Amino acid sequence: MDEKIIKTPFRIRKEARELAIYNEWNELMRQPGAMASAVDSYLREKYDLGADSTVWAIRKRVGRRLKQASGV
């Protein structure tokens, strides 16, 4: 039996924002000569995050969520 997860509007917005950060980080890192620290700083400023490590934490969290959703 499939379990339905009920999400609040806040949670839906948060996951959408984190997915946007994840996708933008991956796209920026595909550019020749891209440096992870510079991309982290850019995204931190763009999304008004507290620290560059927040970008790392978001990437890991979204990566796990996507992996789990794909059933791998």
Residue 54 lies in a domain: yes
What is the predicted pLDDT for the residue at 4? Answer: 80
**pLDDT band, very low/low/confident/very high, at 2 (cuts 50, 70, 90):** low
- For the chain, the average pLDDT equals 93
Residue 10 lies in a domain: no
Domain count along the chain: 1
* Entry pTM: 0.87
User: What residues make up the domain containing 62?
Assistant: 17-70
CB 51 within 8 A of CB 44: yes
Gyration radius of the chain over CA positions? 14
Residue 5 lies in a domain: no
Residue 24 lies in a domain: yes
Residue 40 lies in a domain: yes
